Amino acid sequence: MIDKEFIWKWSRVYDRVFQGSEDETEEKAIRAWLSTLPKPKYLDKEHFVRLGRWKTKRQTSNYKKNDAQIVQEVTRLAYHASDSLVKLDTLRQLRGVGVAVAATILHFLHPDLYPIFDYHARTALKEEGLWQRQIKDASPQAWLEYVDTMRKLASSTDATLREVDKALFAHDKYSHSTH
């Protein structure tokens, strides 16, 4: 059962595993940079490439092919859009950006509204009977359902979306080991 105790325990496992790692360092650096920007938030090309690489390294060469001005305009447009699917689809216009990377960008731009769309988190949700789709389903419609599920979990456990994400990721990845 995913309750407050589950989120607390497994999000701390995540934090211990990633403490001092490049992943943790990059996440903190990107969040710190974004916190200095006034609204509307956006990504410059450097932070777009870093964030994309943080989520999915294999598309790095495609991220770098995006024009710097386009990256800023597209991420600013996505920030402003009122509809979640419009936000997602706007970001997917950038080279190398699929649903998972677009969702990650949205999480960094709006951490209280959008979770990171992650395979391990979906696997943990499926184990708990909270995900009916195929685990590999990374369609925009699957993302919308995932956002709704994650928001409900965050609300019911009094946790942030990132804490829920970390807990689900860690539970799927490390529950069979001794962390």
Angle of CA points 137, 140, 146, to nearest 5° = 70
Neighbours of 26 (CB within 10 A): 14
Residues 6+ apart with CB under 8 A from 66: 45, 48, 94, 95, 96
pLDDT in the model for residue 63:
98
- Yes or no: say if 17 and 179 are a contact pair by the CB < 8 Å rule: yes
DSSP secondary-structure letter at 176?
A: T
pLDDT in the model for residue 177:
64
Residue 126 token pair: 């499926």
Global pTM reads: 0.95
pLDDT in the model for residue 179:
45
Query: Could you tell me the mean pLDDT of each successive run of 10 residues in the chain, 179 residues long?
Result: 96 97 96 95 98 96 98 98 98 98 98 97 96 96 98 98 98 78
Taking the C-alpha atoms of residue 152 and residue 138, their distance in angstroms, rounded to an integer, is 20
Could you tell me how far CA 110 lies from the centroid of its own chain? 10
Taking the C-alpha atoms of residue 125 and residue 163, their distance in angstroms, rounded to an integer, is 14
Taking the C-alpha atoms of residue 87 and residue 105, their distance in angstroms, rounded to an integer, is 10
